[in-house]
Copies of this chain bind each other. A is one copy, B any other.
């Protein structure tokens, strides 16, 4: 039975899984990334993980593997990969069409030949793409945007990531640097983006942005908000702000409202550039659910460019964290 392996490479952990063409998960594996080792040892561990997952896949009762085998990569048999069609890797950065990683902040990688190295170790097709793109592809194959020819996936986390699907395929642009929608500049903001520019979408509508704006407001003047005490005790998080907003706190609601306003503004820009059939929201902030969704929809109403058009609906993603590995596995479907 032909299988697809997906790897979700993060700053903390490397997660992997073996999947059927239909997205059924056969077995999984998770080990620490240990970023400080640098590129080559991590690439070797990913190769070991692929061999170990392929071996687990052949067992009568495959399960979850939690440690890397202490064995040279060259000592694994390539023959053991005979049932694996391809390996896909989602990275928190930008890679080109052959898997050359141009940029990967969390891993401190700039210009490493991840795809090439792994093809050398494994001898099977290897695809590398941005993690948000991979999660967006997973949603389009098995999730909430399934059936839509053109869709956009927005991850609202520490930053904002994006995945663009055009004609049922991933669109990443000429250098793999497209769908970086978190850096679309949509206004003037009171602090600069980590990229060095001002006004990036993610400085208005990510979890970090929510927190920064709350702190800005709290530091600005005396306020009777329930957030004051929480802030002073160092417990302020995006979740707490949403919780207090739900309880009716005025300042918390103003902060959430500002985020919803700019989230809608970014979505309006995506409507006017890409006009997708549907837009899915994922990442940590999507846990706020209808409370956030309702506000965003209200702010979109009456503000779309062509009033007579029914623009794409905004929905919450449904695959959650699993989207990372299953989406990476399905890169084989996208590119093969």
Binding site for B on A (CB under 8 A): 94, 102-103, 110-111, 149-150, 162, 164, 166-167, 171-181, 183-188, 195-197, 199, 265, 268-277, 303, 305-306, 308-312
Contact = CB atoms under 8 A, between A and B. Distances in A.
Contacts of A171: 166, 274
Contacts of A197: 268, 303
A163 to B, nearest CB: 12
A72 B306 CA distance: 35
A277 B162 CA distance: 19
Contacts of A175: 275, 306, 309-311
Contact of A185 (B149, B172, B265): B265
Given A184-B269, A272-B184, A273-B178, A308 B110 contact: yes
Contacts of A173: 150, 274-276
How many monomers of this chain does the complex have?
A: 2
A311 to B, nearest CB: 7
Given A306-B94, A309-B102, A187 B172 contact: no
A184 B111 contact: no
22 contacts: A94-B306, A102-B308, A110-B308, A166-B166, A166-B171, A171-B274, A173-B275, A174-B276, A175-B275, A175-B306, A175-B309, A175-B310, A180-B275, A181-B272, A181-B273, A184-B272, A185-B187, A185-B268, A188-B188, A197-B303, A270-B273, A273-B273
A10 to B, nearest CB: 20
Given A94-B306, A177-B272, A185-B268, 11 more contacts: A173-B274, A174-B275, A180-B272, A180-B305, A184-B273, A186-B187, A187-B187, A187-B188, A187-B199, A196-B303, A273-B274
